[in-house]
Structure 1
Amino acid sequence: MKAPTPLRLGALAAACALAVPLALAPPDTVRAAPLAQVDGARDSTGVNGADPSVIRIGDTYIAVKAAQGGIIVRQSSTLAGTASSTAKKVWSDTGDLGEVWAPEIVRDGGRYYIYFSAGRSGAHRMYAISSASPDSGYSAAQKLALPGDKWAIDGTLFTFSGQRWFVWSGWSGDTNVEQNLYIARMSDPVTPTGGRYVISQPRESWERVVGNPYINEAPEAIKDPNGQLHIVYSANGSWSDQYCLADLRLRAGGDPTYVWDWYKSNGCLFGSHRETMMSGWDPTLYVDGPGHHTFALPDGDINSSPPSGNRFPTMFHSVPKGTPYSWSNRVWYTGTAVWWGSTTYRRANVPGAETNTGFGLKFFE
């Protein structure tokens, strides 16, 4: 397949004038940079790995990662600078919880919360630690009493319409058939209330290219300039270069617990295979299998996303093109996300299903 050609500035600016309220920078200014290369060194406790999570507090970026038998925190004045900043261990698995995966840092009520999954095999559940400081003084791990008490990973907290919500990837039952996305209300940052509700299942053809199991995971919430809620997630197996980012958009005034109020992008919005991309979206030029991203928002607050501008920074993990795709070759990258207007999502494989038009997202390397 012929490699796609990057948009030239004139064409890009013209497209933006129709689709989004602000002009974009030239593609060269938003090309992804692998953090290990930005800082000239690879650090086994940080940038070589998966599942970045970053928030911005004032002028400081705070990143967390599972490493050293626990969780480490890095702080830097720049997003890329998290590669060379000192890693500080803030929590150790002294209770032998098992494999620690994908910590996610959130700020709520002036306090920092790090959510992570821990366990072995089918025992993975979500836990939380908290502190008044981003890099010290964290509490002991507390297991979240998620409704159903099933296998759960990649959980994160956000507030939308005055209500705290928790969204995660999990199993419907006790066997590893597929990973769905679930949502539940929270009465406070560590206390779920009510039931769990499925909002996405990997049932579209483009998210079933790689299976055993089929996967929807790594959900990240963000609010668009119209005030609509989005959950951007990773589809296809993370062990494959078919891994990609896709989007769920909640209809205006919709109920986050009602699956049919969510509309799914009709293909990957950020991926390395043209055949799985949504129409009008191009595959990556420099990396393979981008996924498990983070939006580096002020205070980590989705309600800050429209004021942060039409362009905002992201991080994701991927493998450089030309490098064999494997978990051990994943690297954290910086990138840029852009709100893209007048984007229509349709429910595939549902005859006569209605459509929904609103903001989508484009991701730039």
Structure 2
Amino acid sequence: MSKAAAYKNPIMEQRADPFIYKHTDGYYYFTGSVPEYDRIEVRRAKTIQELGTASPVVIWRKYNNGPMSANIWAPEIHYIDGNWYIYFAAAREDAIFDHRMYVLENKSANPLEGHWTEKGQVKTDWESFSLDATTFEHKGERYYVWAQKDPNIAGNSNLYIARMVNPWTIEAPQVMITKPEYDWEKIGFMVNEGAAVLKRNGKIFLTYSASATDANYCMGLLTADESSDLLNIKSWSKSEKPIFQTNEKNGLFGPGHNSFTVSEDGSTDILIFHARHYQEIEGDPLWDPNRHTHAQMISWNEDGTPHFGDPHI
């Protein structure tokens, strides 16, 4: 039995867009959106549960004006070629929802120490609303997946993939792999965002989140064969229904913007996600701070596909 069964949720309160990475040093590293959207924090612990009581270290703060001066969203921490990188989105104080994507680098062995260097904006085909970048390696190539508004497509954001030249630069072509099509992807906003990648059983599974960030927020799934051309939209099949969504009986609402890690004993894949414990929200959901970080085990179907089940505490 995996130790994952012992997780007590929420792992952490008031941390949305949670990202957990288990490093070779035996530590879990955590980052996510803080309610104030004004800084990036990193913390670490030897267990997932202990991340909730670990002391956060502020590694970067927003500027007062200009680029990266408002709404610092959804940081992710990755270890690539011996260095640490944080991917995040930020807007401007004079345009608080006009986000772009940025990268920080740290050459220290421990990312809670040392100096974080700004590597700049990740440039894409358009200067438009873009956010929620993640990265993964496959067959010797590094890929970048993100959400962006195509000026010629209705809606708020679609998901794109491209190869990376280095950890802060992509190369052409950038390829759209999904856009909001089903009703459950278009409630409140037409959104595909928050991608996360899990490679298992000869497949690449890519989860994403859809709709507004209230109780309608939910997760979809894209699947590609590991031998396919990941830059071909035809390589990706898409779930027709949400694979993870609000469960009123269990008291969890709007689960999404997930990441993946593994249990302490390495035996079990763990889904990390945020959710609220109530449905009714006053005002804009973005200013409601109570999206909490949760963890639960993933099981696997006989056909090798992941089974996420229902969100539970």
Q: Contact 2:18 / 2:33 at 8 angstroms: preserved in 1?
A: no
SS of the equivalent of 2:73 reads strand
* Counterpart position of 2:28: 61
Q: Cα–Cα, structure 1 residues 259 and 175, in superposed 2: closer, same or farther, change >3 Å?
A: closer
CA shift at 1:328, angstroms? 2.4
* Counterpart position of 1:337: 298
Q: Contact 1:180 / 1:217 at 8 angstroms: preserved in 2?
A: yes
Matched, 1:51 2:20: no
Counterpart among 43, 50, 54 of residue 74 in structure 1: 43
Q: Contact 2:162 / 2:174 at 8 angstroms: preserved in 1?
A: yes
* Counterpart position of 1:223: 199
Q: Cα–Cα, structure 1 residues 161 and 284, in superposed 2: closer, same or farther, change >3 Å?
A: farther
* Counterpart position of 2:256: 291
Counterpart among 66, 72, 77 of residue 105 in structure 1: 77
Matched, 1:237 2:212: yes
Alignment of 1:72-221 (within 5 A): 72-94=41-63, 96=65, 97=68, 98-119=70-91, 120-121=95-96, 123-133=98-108, 134-136=111-113, 137-173=115-151, 177-208=155-186, 210-211=187-188, 213-221=189-197
Matched, 1:254 2:220: no
Counterpart among 291, 312, 317 of residue 269 in structure 2: 312
Question: Among the aligned pairs, what percent are the same residue?
Answer: 25
Q: Contact 1:221 / 1:230 at 8 angstroms: preserved in 2?
A: yes
Q: Take 1:284 and 1:152, find their aligned partners in 2: how far apart are those partners? A: 35
Q: Take 2:97 and 2:44, find their aligned partners in 1: how far apart are those partners? A: 33
Q: Take 1:266 and 1:167, find their aligned partners in 2: how far apart are those partners? A: 21
Q: Contact 1:340 / 1:362 at 8 angstroms: preserved in 2?
A: no
SS of the equivalent of 2:289 reads helix
Q: Cα–Cα, structure 1 residues 142 and 198, in superposed 2: closer, same or farther, change >3 Å?
A: same
SS of the equivalent of 1:206 reads helix
Q: Cα–Cα, structure 1 residues 175 and 252, in superposed 2: closer, same or farther, change >3 Å?
A: closer
CA shift at 1:121, angstroms? 4.0
Q: Cα–Cα, structure 1 residues 192 and 252, in superposed 2: closer, same or farther, change >3 Å?
A: closer
Counterpart amino acid of residue 118 in structure 1: A
Deviations 1:51-83 (A, max 9, x none): 111101132111113447321111111112111
Q: Contact 1:151 / 1:174 at 8 angstroms: preserved in 2?
A: no
Q: Take 1:162 and 1:297, find their aligned partners in 2: how far apart are those partners? A: 22
- Higher Cα Rg, which structure: 1
Q: Cα–Cα, structure 1 residues 105 and 130, in superposed 2: closer, same or farther, change >3 Å?
A: same
Q: Take 1:78 and 1:189, find their aligned partners in 2: how far apart are those partners? A: 28
Deviations 1:206-236 (A, max 9, x none): 323x13x3111100011112x2111111112
* Counterpart position of 1:352: none
Deviations 1:308-357 (A, max 9, x none): 54x32222110114775843221111222223232xxxxxxxxxxxxxxx
Question: Unpaired runs of 5+ in structure 2?
Answer: none
Q: Take 2:269 and 2:258, find their aligned partners in 1: how far apart are those partners? A: 13
Counterpart amino acid of residue 230 in structure 1: F
Counterpart amino acid of residue 271 in structure 2: T
Q: Take 1:241 and 1:328, find their aligned partners in 2: how far apart are those partners? A: 14
Counterpart amino acid of residue 105 in structure 2: S
CA shift at 1:144, angstroms? 1.1
CA shift at 1:146, angstroms? 2.2
Q: Take 1:341 and 1:132, find their aligned partners in 2: how far apart are those partners? A: 42
Q: Take 1:31 and 1:71, find their aligned partners in 2: how far apart are those partners? A: 25
Q: Cα–Cα, structure 1 residues 74 and 261, in superposed 2: closer, same or farther, change >3 Å?
A: same
* Counterpart position of 2:306: 360
Q: Take 1:359 and 1:294, find their aligned partners in 2: how far apart are those partners? A: 17
Q: Take 2:238 and 2:124, find their aligned partners in 1: how far apart are those partners? A: 25
Q: Contact 2:298 / 2:306 at 8 angstroms: preserved in 1?
A: no
Q: Cα–Cα, structure 1 residues 173 and 341, in superposed 2: closer, same or farther, change >3 Å?
A: farther
* TM-score relative to the length of structure 2: 0.85
Deviations 1:234-293 (A, max 9, x none): 11211x2121122100135322121122111121111126xxxxxxxxx87231111111
* TM-score relative to the length of structure 1: 0.73
Q: Take 1:32 and 1:288, find their aligned partners in 2: how far apart are those partners? A: 17
